[in-house]
Structure formats: C-alpha cells, structure tokens
Amino acid sequence: MKDLDKKSKQYLLDSIRDVKDFPKPGVVFKDITTLLNNKDAFNLLLDHLSSRYNDKNIDFIAGIESRGFIFAAALCARLKIGFVPIRKPKKLPYMTISQKYSLEYGVDEIEIHVDAFGGIKNARVLLIDDLIATGGTAKASVDLIKQAGGSCIEACFLIDLLDLGGSEDLKNMVNVYSVLEV
C-alpha cells in the first residue's frame, strides 16, 4: 500500500473538516481532529505511512509541535522507532538548540534537544507534520535536525496547501512527500 488510490485520498480528505474564518477572517482552517477520531480514516493513513516508511531504515521520527506529534508518535509505535519532539521555546526540559524562522509578520522559533538522536551519528530522521503552508517551520525543523547531528531523509505532511508554495521551497533542502494536496 505504498501509494494511495484516488478513492482513498478522497476518503481521507472528506474526513477533514474545514472551519471558515479560523483563526482569523478569510482563513479556511483544515481541522484534522475529525480524521483523528475516525478510526477507519486514521488507520488508513497510518497503514499507508507505515507501508511507505517501513523499509527506509529510519532511526527516528521528528514531529513538529503540536499536531505533528500525533502522527509522529503513532507512526513511531508502528515502526518501533524513537520519537523526537520539535517544540516552541522553553517547552523542552533539557539543553536545546534553537532555530528562528520568518513569519508573515515577524519571527518565531523552535527547539530540539541537543541529544535528540541519542548519540547516533547521522541518524536517519523522518520529519512529519499535519500540514505545510509557507514552509517556514518545516525548513527550520530540517535545519535543527542537521544541527543536532541527524540527516533528514524526508519531510512528510498529511496536507500540502499548494497555493502557498512551502513544499516547493522545502524541496530545495529535502525530499517532500504529502499524502493530500489541496
């Protein structure tokens, strides 16, 4: 089940709720909680991702706060590998490396533990999140993985918002895979 057929992709897309004008007017928010609480849709997604990554010799999956944690942790359990959180500042309890990135109006920052990959040199890391829009957080995450001694082998997203161009920019740094493109 490495590739999803059109019917399966549509099923997953239909399981995601659109919320208009959230978090601000004009935005249509892709609410994945409806996919997560649909056991059939969530398992279809995890079966697909497990099949895709089972033979890639991945050491860790790094999930971006917060919805990326859900997919990363569930997939880690299936693949029997370690989970690494990438978080907002001052949320991780040990020494961290941080990376700033640009937002439309300002700057934000994310962090990873300095020892995130347990001393494994060039650990093979899959980066995962629910959605890629402009790609700022994802690009900063790929940089953090490298700074922590890992090698990001691919960045995976449930949804790629194509019109915002983030995945195209990210492809200059790493392979990108999106389950759904909107």
**Residue 41 · residue 33 · CB < 8 Å:** no
Q: pTM for this one?
A: 0.95
**Residue 79 · residue 71 · CB < 8 Å:** no
Domains, in order of start, for the chain: 57-181 (3.40.50.2020)
Catalytic residue among 78, 87, 104, 154: 104
- Say whether 104 is catalytic: yes
**Chain Cα centroid distance, residue 177:** 10
Mean pLDDT of the 115-143 span: 96
Q: Among 48-57, 95-104, 143-152, 164-173, where is mean pLDDT lowest?
A: 95-104
**pLDDT reported for residue 167:** 97
| All residues at 6 or more sequence positions from 7 whose CB lies less than 8 Å from its CB, including other chains | none
- Say whether 78 is catalytic: no
**Residue 78 · residue 100 · CB < 8 Å:** no
Catalytic residue among 17, 52, 65, 67: 67
pLDDT-based confidence at residue 104 (cuts at 50, 70, 90)? low
**Amino acid making up residue 54:** N
**Strands of the chain, DSSP E:** 17-20, 28-31, 60-64, 82-86, 96-103, 106-113, 123-132, 150-160, 176-181
